[in-house]
Amino acid sequence: MSERSLRGRVAVVGVGETTYYRHGQAPEPEFVLCLKAILAACTDAGIDPKQIDGFASYSNDRNDPPTLATALGCHELRFSNMQWGGGGGGGAGAMANAAAAIATGLADCVVVYRALAQGQFGRFGQGPRAATVSGDLALSVPYGQMSPAQWYAPKAMRFMHEHRIGQEALRAIALASYHHAQANPRAVMYGRPLTEAAYDESRWITEPFHLYDCCQENDGAAALIMVPAERARDLKQTPAYVLAAAIGAGYRVHSTPAGFATPDLASSHFKTLAPRLYEMAGLSPADVDVVQCYENFTGGVLMALVEHGFFAAEAATEFLTLENLIAPLGKLPLNTSGGNLAECYMHGLELQIEAVRQVRGQSTSQVPDADVSLAVAGPMVTPVSTILFGSERVL
């Protein structure tokens, strides 16, 4: 392991979220949602919000650190960070940036946050309404190729073609999220189970994605508090230590609208990240007890799981069954809160929270002795990011 490592130096000590709403349904402004999630995370951690001295987010979150620090009465602002890149690719990256700031002494108590009120600010899944388009957008939008589902579908299509993967592999990923959401009262799809038949009969959005292969769009906010490991041990929650993280992409991964030109099209872009992640953690895929993997679209989850080394692409159809993907006893429990598909599309930050809850033993679909917990952000986007959390036992 490299001496320059995050392993065991920083821990998540507080998590919080607002009520999760269907898109456009939040009764409060986005900024208020953001504040409430941060306050909930502070309460969970047992810390005074004024102690927060750093802020990290991603995907051009609209709630900037100086405004938040001022509103919260923070004594001092020492770190204000934005992970570049749209989509949810930066979820684990924002966590990694916060951990790096703490590990290097730039800050002592950093909150990672994401807030979305799409009723207030508009949705992701709609095409541009401008009269003209230029640049990379001009190469795709005039063909009716103008939403994330459409831009990413050819990546999954090619991957499924190359490795002879059946639609049932994507279906199992969707079913696992909905299965876990039925145990999670926070989930927007709580009380709304999904069956194989309902998946099969659901309409295509854009092939190979059915309706249930696509994430929700939601309103709400989520936040996590991170502090140095030595301080974490004195706080009230079981610490979830950062074991490793990685951010980035491989060779020439183009912008999303020009993604068709990326040399390695059939990829979620974790091929270079996953080996670095495991090396920093000193672990292998077999050590991972539970996985949260961002479902923008199930095809991205499929490729991300392969690229994180859990099974070979050729074995995907065989491995990806509901039985293998559900807590407590599946081989690879996946998206145990319901994820983006069925808990909430809080741009994947709810997946970071769930990864922490698994280490704490507080999930609504708990995996027994979950000591190593993986959270993967934004497959197929660039840059992507990925992070491993662990309990005290694996340090």
Partner 1 sequence: MSYLPPGLPIPIPERNGLSAPYWEGLRRDALVIQRNPRTGAYQWPPQWIAHDDQGIDLDWVEVEPRGLIYSWTRVWHPVHPALRDACPYIVVVVELPHASNVRLLGNLLGDPRQSIEIGAEVEAVFEHHAEAQPPFSLLQWRLART
Active site residues: 294, 345
380 binds partner 1 (CB under 8 A): no
Strands 110-116 and 79-83 come out as: unpaired
Quote the least distance from Cβ 256 to partner 1, whole Å: 12
127 binds partner 1 (CB under 8 A): yes
Q: Which stretch binds partner 1 (CB under 8 A): 55-63, 77-85, 134-142, 352-360?
A: 134-142
265 binds partner 1 (CB under 8 A): yes
119 binds partner 1 (CB under 8 A): no
Verify cis geometry, omega within 30 degrees of 0, for the bond prior to 193.
Answer: no
154 binds partner 1 (CB under 8 A): yes
140 binds partner 1 (CB under 8 A): yes
22 binds partner 1 (CB under 8 A): no
Query: Whole-angstrom Cα distance, residue 260 to residue 152?
Result: 9
Query: Whole-angstrom Cα distance, residue 3 to residue 339?
Result: 34
Q: Is 281 helix (H, G, I), strand (E, B) or coil?
A: helix
157 binds partner 1 (CB under 8 A): yes
Contact 229, 10 (CB under 8 A): yes
Contact 352, 224 (CB under 8 A): yes
Q: x/- string (CB under 8 A) for partner 1, residues 45-84? A: ----------------------------------------
132 binds partner 1 (CB under 8 A): yes
298 binds partner 1 (CB under 8 A): no
- Looking at 266, 306, 351, 359, which residue binds partner 1 (CB under 8 A)? 266
Query: Whole-angstrom Cα distance, residue 319 to residue 166?
Result: 11
Site for partner 1 in 194-223 (CB under 8 A): 203-208
260 binds partner 1 (CB under 8 A): yes
State the DSSP code for 340. I
Quote the least distance from Cβ 14 to partner 1, whole Å: 38
273 binds partner 1 (CB under 8 A): no
Nearer to partner 1, 46 or 204 (CB): 204
Nearer to partner 1, 49 or 300 (CB): 300
Nearer to partner 1, 208 or 379 (CB): 208
Write the CB contacts of 113 (distance below 8 Å, at least 6 apart in sequence): 34, 37, 38, 55, 56, 57, 61, 63, 68, 221, 222, 223, 224, 349
185 binds partner 1 (CB under 8 A): no
Q: Residue 15: beta bridge partners?
A: 224
Q: Which stretch binds partner 1 (CB under 8 A): 16-24, 237-245, 260-268, 364-372?
A: 260-268
65: tokens are 């650190």
- In one-letter notation, the amino acid at residue 391 is S
Q: Which stretch binds partner 1 (CB under 8 A): 19-27, 87-95, 128-136, 340-348?
A: 128-136
**Phi, psi values for residue 222, rounded to 5°:** -145, 155
CA distances in angstroms from 207 to 211, 214, 313, 381, listed in the order given = 10, 11, 20, 19
Nearer to partner 1, 43 or 126 (CB): 126
**Phi, psi values for residue 161, rounded to 5°:** -70, -50
Contact 12, 35 (CB under 8 A): no
Size of the site for partner 1 (CB under 8 A): 45
CA distances in angstroms from 135 to 142, 156, 274, listed in the order given = 12, 24, 32
Nearer to partner 1, 135 or 185 (CB): 135
- Looking at 2, 105, 143, 191, which residue binds partner 1 (CB under 8 A)? 143
Nearer to partner 1, 147 or 337 (CB): 147
State the DSSP code for 203. P
Quote the least distance from Cβ 148 to partner 1, whole Å: 10
144: tokens are 């009716």
Query: Whole-angstrom Cα distance, residue 199 to residue 202?
Result: 5
Binding stretches for partner 1 (CB under 8 A): 125-147, 149-150, 153-155, 157-158, 161, 203-208, 252, 254, 258, 260-261, 263, 265-266
